[in-house]
Amino acid sequence: MDHAGKRPLAWLSLAAALLLAAPGPAAAEPQVVATIPPIHSLVAGVMADIGQPHLLVKGGASPHTYALRPSDAEMLGHADVIFWVGDGLENFLVRPLAALGGGADVVALSTAPGLRLLATREGGVWEEDEHEHETDHKHDATDPHIWLDPANAQAMVGAIVAALSRRDPAHAQAYAANGARMSDRLANLRGEIGALLAPVADRPFLVFHDAYQYFETAFGLSAVGAIAVSPERPPGARRLGELRDRVQAVGVRCVFREPQFTPRLAETLADGTGARIGVLDPLGADIKAGPDLYFRLIRGDAEALKGCLEAKPAG
């Protein structure tokens, strides 16, 4: 018998056996979009070694005034999961998200379990009792800058892990492990920043817009007012006069501007009062996007506060 004729059949059988024994293709990671750099950073940390989330609002642009581009709409249309703070911050997304038709899981992190929410403060000059005014969770009363408290970031990491695990159960264990590491880093960060800022916690300062209430509350700081109610609404002459009176009355040590906006207003308020000019950034405009951005953002703002508040008054 010619055994050569049987060889192709033998090789085919062996190949079939190897294919059956080989592991199947790895489960594809979900397509994930996060709106702003700090949220993107937390999501990127949870997705480490699994996939890369897409960042929507890039280049230091403000979510208060952002205009959606066609490429952004395309990104949202292909997303499996979309993380945003909520319509109190990214109002430009309300209609586009409603138009998606349920294809993506849309996760508003302002509803994360365990989150501490604070009520929006009124006016540009604040009284002490406003700092501890927690919201009754009515959406229109909530300050949306929730990420600037590392304890809130821990709560958001938990919600991110849960949402990704529901959409992508094949990687649930990896998401949980990454989330635990992120939560540990955030707990350590909170302790580190608390110790750094304790020596200057009672020194009064003024911010550009009211984005830092969660940061102030987390670390017991003494902000006394904001130049602008919101970035898109410049203050009038009356408001500037009230703020300038406040700067002088309480001995404001620093007036903080933001890198995305002109320094002129901060300089006008500080001129002749002895207050120094500093820079705070709620978004991480000049920090490379990724899992470390959140930590660099919080440390950078803490160091800016400490450096300005402990310096001698301007001459």
* pTM metric for this prediction: 0.85
C-alpha distance across the termini of the chain, in Å? 106
- Of all residues in the chain, the percent with pLDDT exceeding 70 is 83
Say whether domain 32-112+150-194 belongs to CATH 3.40.190.10: no
Task: Let me know: does 261 contact 231? Beta carbons within 8 Å.
Answer: yes
**What gap in Å lies between CA 227 and CA 208, rounded to an integer?**
5
Asked whether residue 27 carries a pLDDT value surpassing 60, the answer given is no
Please report the beta strands in 155-252, taking only residues with DSSP state E, as ranges in sequence order: 205-209, 223-228
**Which pLDDT belongs to residue 225?**
87
Which residue did the predictor score with more confidence, 183 or 245?
A: 183
Q: For 131-147, what is each residue's pLDDT tens digit? A: 444 544 444 589 999 99
How far is residue 257's CA from residue 124's CA, in Å, rounded to a whole number?
15
Q: Please tell me the distance from the alpha carbon of residue 275 to that of residue 159, in angstroms, as a whole number.
A: 41
Q: Is 264 exposed, middle or buried (0-12, 13-18, 19+ CB in 10 A)?
A: exposed
Q: Where are the domains of the chain?
A: 32-112+150-194
d(C-alpha 65, C-alpha 62), whole Å: 6
